Amino acid sequence: MNAFNKKIIAVSGAVCLSFCAAFTAFAQEDGSYEQFIAEGYTYDEIREAEQSAAASADISAQKSYMTSTSRVDWSRATFTSDVTLDVVKAGIPMPSGKSVSMNRIQMELPVLVKDPLLSLYADDTRTIGDLILEGSLTLDALTRIIDDSKKTPPYFVDASNKLKTTHTISLSDIGSLLVRHHTPYVQEKPIDRISSRAYTGIVIDARGTLPVQGEHIKSEVSPCLFPKIWNEDMTLVYERNMVNPEVAKKSGIVDYLPGQGSNKKTQRAGSDPLWITARKVYGVNRCDPVISYEDYLRITTVPQNLELLKQGKVVILLDASELSHGVTSPRKDVRYWLTFTSLKKYMEDPGIPETEIDERHEGYYFTMDNLRFIADSAELLPQEKPRISEIATQLKSMLAKGDYTIRINGHTADVNKPNGQQTLSLQRAEAIVNALAAEGISKDLFTWYGYGGTMPVADNNTAQGRAQNRRVEIVVMPRGTEIQYR
């Protein structure tokens, strides 16, 4: 169990524990309790798995008394959750218990919305959940934002026992916590210049599918809290630290809008913006538009246009399907947590050499340290085959009991060759996919990404540190669900 879920259990511990008996009763009702015992799990392990499932808002739909469905609207910078409480199942008498019902919803809200909220992209490589795990954002701060979210008055749905309310979180409130700079920096002016003029703002049309920088595929551009803009030479054109911090905290660094019918475009970019068509998309999360070198020069040649970056006068146009949609989160039921228990036991004894297992927001993480490839190539050395085979055995066992997909993250040491490192890490991730497929796992289950040297876990100035940074992560992700249950 990761640190975040441990904290969630602590926050809602009284509620989790008070319903443990109900969870166990459910397990006994459908026979799964006996099944888990027969599989060798202890009572304490099952009880802990039930508590973890509750902390993940993933108990049985039949036994739950609260549900939540969430959606994001990047054009409004809002995350909205419809929360329903069944007052009969919760044992709350009405009408006298209406205030008790609202208090119950308020208490449970962080548990219900946290997994979908954590799945939103923070930038081109990280989700909000990743920020929690690395310590860039604290659980307490996020919980305060959830608690202070706007709430509609509760009402009963269609004269039923279900009390419903809608909570809306401002994504700008989350983003403002991550703006840490005090003075924006101005990028160096390029030597090249081009005929240009002053504009009132910058509008980047990134609709449709675009080629992915460094890969042979196409993808839509995904919104995030802090996108970057690059040119085709992979020079950084725009990022959060170039923006006046007060502007960034108040309204973010871009507005995401549809192509037509939005007055916000003029509000942010003015009546005479520089219109740019994105050429490519970059980043593991596909969040960063890539513009042409000529458009880059149209910005940097004119001082007034550089000032537009400082004032955050940037709009990115995206397709409606990318701007507003329901949000899913990984399905983490009792079976999921018991599988993690088995994995931890196996990794302790007999274990897999130079491989660790962890549980994070997206699912199980196998981290393979110091993978050995032929120098500067994506060809695995033969001595890595036993390690690949052992991991494949564990993956096949998991796939037989649950519905999962698998993502491979490739990482390299940073040797000041960013483009080459990104390409090599992607090729090595694909090599792991091919090796696991050769062990009998369907290649259709896999996606793979290359991070290059952008996410080091150790010091690149030492041989030991570089060896640790040359790693591959195998992320086993349970299927998603749009409904959270308590």
pLDDT digits (tens, 9 = 90+) for 285-305: 999 999 999 999 999 999 999
- Is 60 exceeded by the pLDDT of residue 6? no
pLDDT at residue number 61: 62
Domain boundaries, position 391: 334-478
SS3 24: helix
| Lowest mean pLDDT, pick from 48-52, 365-369, 404-408 | 48-52
The contacts of residue 179 (CB under 8 Å, 6+ apart) are 240, 245, 248, 249
pLDDT in tens, 236-252: 999 999 999 999 999 99
pLDDT at residue number 14: 37
3 domain residue, yes or no: no
Confidence band, pLDDT 50/70/90 cuts, at residue 32 = confident
192 domain residue, yes or no: no
Question: Which phi and psi (to 5°) does residue 274 adopt?
Answer: -80, 120
Same-domain status, 153 and 229 = no
Q: Which of 131, 116, 165, 146 shows the shortest CA–CA distance to 11?
A: 146
Same-domain status, 96 and 140 = yes
pLDDT in tens, 197-227: 999 999 999 999 999 988 888 999 999 999 9
8 domain residue, yes or no: no
d(CA 354, CA 451): 20
pLDDT in tens, 54-95: 777 666 666 678 888 999 999 999 999 999 888 888 888 877
Same-domain status, 351 and 310 = no
Write down which residue in 326, 360, 391 finishes a domain: 326
- Is 80 exceeded by the pLDDT of residue 143? yes
Same-domain status, 129 and 49 = no
- Is 60 exceeded by the pLDDT of residue 4? no
Same-domain status, 342 and 466 = yes
Tokens of 410: 């490739």
Same-domain status, 377 and 453 = yes
Question: Which phi and psi (to 5°) does residue 465 adopt?
Answer: -65, -45
Same-domain status, 322 and 380 = no
pLDDT at residue number 2: 52
194 domain residue, yes or no: no
pLDDT at residue number 22: 39
485 domain residue, yes or no: no
- Residue pair 337/52 in contact (Cβ under 8 Å)? The answer is yes
366 domain residue, yes or no: yes
196 domain residue, yes or no: no
Same-domain status, 420 and 441 = yes
- Is 60 exceeded by the pLDDT of residue 359? yes
pLDDT at residue number 137: 94
Same-domain status, 47 and 105 = no
Same-domain status, 387 and 422 = yes
Q: How many domains does the chain have?
A: 4
Question: What is the domain-level CATH number for residue 352?
Answer: 3.30.1330.60
Q: Pick the residue with more confidence: 482 or 442? A: 442
Write down which residue in 276, 297, 326 finishes a domain: 326
Of the CA atoms within 13 Å of residue 92, those in its CB half-sphere come to 21
Q: What percent of the chain is modeled with pLDDT above 70? A: 91
Same-domain status, 288 and 232 = yes
Run of H or E including 446? strand 446-450
Distance of CA 383 to the CA centre of its chain: 34
The total of other beta-carbon atoms located within 10 Å of residue 442's CB is 10
- Is 80 exceeded by the pLDDT of residue 97? no
4 domain residue, yes or no: no
Q: What percent of the chain is modeled with pLDDT above 90? A: 53
- Is 70 exceeded by the pLDDT of residue 157? yes
- Give the CA angle between residues 275, 78, 306 to the nearest 5°: 30
Q: Pick the residue with more confidence: 119 or 24? A: 119
Q: Cα dist. 92→21, 54, 147, 167, 195 in Å? A: 19, 20, 22, 21, 70
- Is 90 exceeded by the pLDDT of residue 174? yes
d(CA 342, CA 357): 11
pLDDT at residue number 128: 95
pLDDT at residue number 204: 98
Same-domain status, 297 and 356 = no
- Is 80 exceeded by the pLDDT of residue 392? yes
Tokens of 222: 């995904």
Rank 64-68, 111-115, 433-437 by mean pLDDT and report only the highest.
Answer: 433-437
Mean pLDDT score of the chain? 87
